[in-house]
Amino acid sequence: MSATDFDYGSALFLDLDGTLLEIAATPELVVVPPSLPGLLAHLHALLGGALAIVSGRSLKTIDQLLQPFTSAAAGEHGVTLRFSDGTVEEMPAGLAVTQAWRDSLVAATERWPGVLIEPKPHGCAIHYRLAPERHDDVWRVVRALVPDDHPWFRLIPAREAVEIGPRSTSKGHAVERFMKDGAFKGRRPIFVGDDFTDEAGMSAARRHGGEGLRVQEVFDGDPAQVRAWLSRNAERLTGAPATQTVTAGASA
């Protein structure tokens, strides 16, 4: 399967880790290629603001990683949404992993070297990339806190990690909300992602007549190929007749 080109009528929804950025040993060690913020800004302008970062990272971390670029974005798998005009919509602060749960996770994992806790404003991720032998131990601990029938929270599988997050949000929910926004409305959405949580976003894109591109299938699992694809399309659109250009929307 190969990635199709996108055009001025497209809307891009891009995951971050594992899609635009190579997975690192820990979340803090991720490397952002120097050219990426500028490339995203260029595409954002070409598509009239119809480009959103849809990530498990918090909105604050997304902005820190991609500075000075900002755009519409979904943080924590859709818990926080920033629209193309800069308006932010967020789940209530009360719907967050409690401090008691966070303390319990720290106490349970502190005796496991290589298992890392990543706190987020509403959720909490447990990474075991550096200690893969702890897979079963980590899942046992989180399942004790969040059974399958928990009414408010769910377990979100990730690559050598698991996250506790609000049940009522997803990347699919984020795409649905963005497609009602002026910058995205009426466009053909393309969602690019690499992980379990991205499947809902891909499904939402398909429901709106677009497509979902899995990094493993379309880009050989290589974020560098995703960035190259974005760059090729940016160059192609830049060279297209000016009459095709969509007026750029406001940057968040």
Active-site residue identified among 5, 15, 195, 220: 15
* Among 131, 132, 125, 79, CA closest to 106: 125
Distances (CA, A) of 160 to 157, 225, 239: 8, 22, 42
The tokens of 56 are what?
């498990």
The yes-or-no answer on residue 15 being catalytic is yes
Q: Which amino acid appears at position 168 of this protein?
A: S
* Among 110, 29, 38, 30, CA closest to 70: 38
**How far apart (Å, rounded) are the C-alpha atoms in residues 54 and 6?**
18
How are strands ordered across the β-sheet holding 153-158? Answer: 116-119, 124-127, 161-166, 153-158
**How far apart (Å, rounded) are the C-alpha atoms in residues 3 and 211?**
10
Give catalytic residues, as residue numbers.
Answer: 15
